[in-house]
Structure 1
Amino acid sequence: MKYKKVVLIGNPIAGGGALKKIKKAENILKNKGISVETLLTKKKGDAQEFAKKIKNREILVIAAGGDGTYNEVVNGLAFSETPMAILPMGTTSVLAKELKIPDNIEKAVDIALRGNVQRVHLGRIKNQEKQRLFILMAGIGFDGMAVFGVDSEKKKYFKKIAYILSGIRTLINYAPQELKIYDSATKKAYSAVICKASCYGGSFRIAPDASLKKPNFYVFLSKTRSKLELSLQILGVIIGKHIKMMNTDYFKTEALKITGDAHVQIDGDYFGKTPVEVELIRDALNLVFPEYN
């Protein structure tokens, strides 16, 4: 056992019987003779506050929940030596898809304990009001509006369906304002997804070249106001043909600025509105990968 203690930070209402799974993980760890402390969140921000108080490379933090829980733990542990592992049990758990962590609790716990700790790069986004780190992506425009439109009560009970319904409503009412993207050259678009990881919305790969281990972002732009054309681009993402479609752009960068009037989401949670600045933060987090990854 390379850790003297495991701290399990869990969101008991993440979905899919989360509390039962968290307790199961706790029992698996205890049965292995491991000292474990379980901290359950009660409100937004709890996971980050729990993680901020843990600054020890000999303690393993396991985040049990969905991408929102992971994001909070990332923001709490960033720039420390404390390693982070995950147990997938949220609405989508895109990070679990990215890391190839199975839903099976026994296997996920085994990966957390035996996996390889690697330093990964994060994104940092800021607007006029706040800043925050993200590990997966920042979405500006269409999917920012879709996340903004998710009803909190419906999300609590209907989970992923709430996002799908909001996405459909957003598409029906789609009337975006133009965004300006300042990179090495100025670009114009109506939606942008800035990816630190390749997976998006589950197993879809909106930026197939992106990786947590690579020191850059891959950015996908939609340059159409047409609902029909956007629908085709969404279909293109599903079948993996979106990058070569008309009125799109795809490029690599380490920093950019986006102006305009649009909603923003990061790691599946609402962030705020543009203008925003996004930059790469190198070697910011110790993350546990499966031994085969």
Structure 2
Amino acid sequence: MKKVIIITNPTAGHHSRSRISRFVRHLEQAGPRATIARTQYPGHATILARDAAASGLYSHIIAAGGDGTIAEVAAGMIGTSAILGILPLGSANVLAHELKIPFNEIRNAALIQAGHFTTIWPGYLHTKAGRQLFVQMASIGFDAHIVHGTSTRLKAWVGRAAYAVSTLSSLFRFELTEFTVLIDDIPHRATTVIVSKGSLYAGKYELTHHSAHGDRNFSVILFETSGKLALVRTILSLFLGRIGQQKGTRTLTASTVRIPSPAAIPIQSDGDRKGFSPVHLDISASPLHVATGPTPPPAG
């Protein structure tokens, strides 16, 4: 194993210098030297990861933070031979739950040392702001409005509970708008769309029965509900693990999703705000290698 670099986001919801220090200590007991690089602004993790991958000095580039930090690090190293390591320090840590990555620093360090990895196929968002990679999921509509309205300070303080506060606020403030969704160029109508690579949502809640991380496609969940009461029932069904049984939702498989609407519908990916529609989503042409256990995690 070559050296490893740990890219950490000091503003992540549960950033912890002590956890990072323990992780480094156990990692270096097996030999590999670890360099720590701290992000200073949005997008900095991508630059740090790109430079680290280009140097050829590191076998692993480790993202220490939440899903947003992981996506930024992945964007800088995708398509290279470097392996993405994950030390979960965020509020939801959905990808870590999805890929069964240990939260314990000692077991996580042992996983990195073993050198095993799983190959996944992330997605890209294409908006007016440009192309942005996401590793777990993106959404357009009510779900994204919740993310747009979530206070970063409150999220750092109370973690996932901040999303509950924003959900209640969004139920009163957000106006549901029906729009056209082109799924593999076939038109559908919806008020919210979740485009997911994984099977989980907001941590450990089941969104679909199948993870598409190893596939070159998405799971696309269409919310066709138009009233606030129906929307509340749909949200509750999601957190009760019954979204697949809920009337007014459909799950499809696709390799491209396009929402041409110019109506400024909010977008989020991996828990971060990503502007407004129109938007086009597709699968990365290059895979990403992620440090996991010796065998891939079971789908769903």
TM range (shorter): over 0.9
1:39-98, Cα deviation, whole Å (9 max, x unpaired) = 122322221111010223852111111111101101111121111010111111111100
Give 1:87's aligned residue: 87
Structure 1 residues 18 and 272 mapped into 2: Cα distance closer, same or farther (>3 Å)?
Answer: same
Structure 1 residues 113 and 211 mapped into 2: Cα distance closer, same or farther (>3 Å)?
Answer: farther
Structure 1 residues 64 and 17 mapped into 2: Cα distance closer, same or farther (>3 Å)?
Answer: closer
Structure 1 residues 117 and 82 mapped into 2: Cα distance closer, same or farther (>3 Å)?
Answer: same
Structure 1 residues 252 and 277 mapped into 2: Cα distance closer, same or farther (>3 Å)?
Answer: same
Give 1:191's aligned residue: 192
Give 2:117's aligned residue: 117
8 Å contact 2:98–2:200 — kept in the other structure?
yes
Cα-Cα RMSD: 1.7
8 Å contact 2:122–2:135 — kept in the other structure?
yes
How far apart in 2 are the matches of 1:117 and 1:17? 25
Within-5 A mapping of 1:65-104 = 65-104=65-104
Give 2:39's aligned residue: 41
1:69 aligns to what SS in structure 2?
helix
How big is the shift at 1:104? 0.9
Within-5 A mapping of 1:110-189 = 110-183=110-183, 184-189=185-190
8 Å contact 1:126–1:276 — kept in the other structure?
yes
8 Å contact 1:189–1:222 — kept in the other structure?
yes
Where does the alignment leave 5 or more consecutive residues of structure 2 unmatched? none
8 Å contact 1:8–1:61 — kept in the other structure?
yes
Where does the alignment leave 5 or more consecutive residues of structure 1 unmatched? none
How far apart in 2 are the matches of 1:245 and 1:102? 32
Q: TM-score, normalized by length of structure 2?
A: 0.92
1:54 aligns to what SS in structure 2?
helix
8 Å contact 2:138–2:268 — kept in the other structure?
yes
Count residues in correspondence: 291
How far apart in 1 are the matches of 2:152 and 2:11? 13
How big is the shift at 1:223? 0.7
8 Å contact 1:155–1:162 — kept in the other structure?
yes
Aligned: 1:52 with 2:50:
yes
8 Å contact 2:9–2:15 — kept in the other structure?
no
8 Å contact 1:57–1:82 — kept in the other structure?
no
How big is the shift at 1:139? 0.7
How far apart in 2 are the matches of 1:86 and 1:146? 26
Aligned: 1:27 with 2:22:
no
Give 2:222's aligned residue: 221
Structure 1 residues 159 and 193 mapped into 2: Cα distance closer, same or farther (>3 Å)?
Answer: same
Q: TM-score, normalized by length of structure 1?
A: 0.94
8 Å contact 1:120–1:283 — kept in the other structure?
no
Give 2:283's aligned residue: 280
Give 1:210's aligned residue: 211
How far apart in 2 are the matches of 1:102 and 1:59? 19
How big is the shift at 1:162? 1.9
268, 281, 288: which one aligns with 1:265: 268
Aligned: 1:106 with 2:109:
no
Letter in 2 for 1:50: L
Give 2:250's aligned residue: 249
1:6-25, Cα deviation, whole Å (9 max, x unpaired) = 11111233243521111111
How far apart in 1 are the matches of 2:290 and 2:129? 29
8 Å contact 1:136–1:267 — kept in the other structure?
yes
Letter in 1 for 2:197: K
How big is the shift at 1:246? 1.5
Letter in 2 for 1:69: T
How big is the shift at 1:34? 1.8
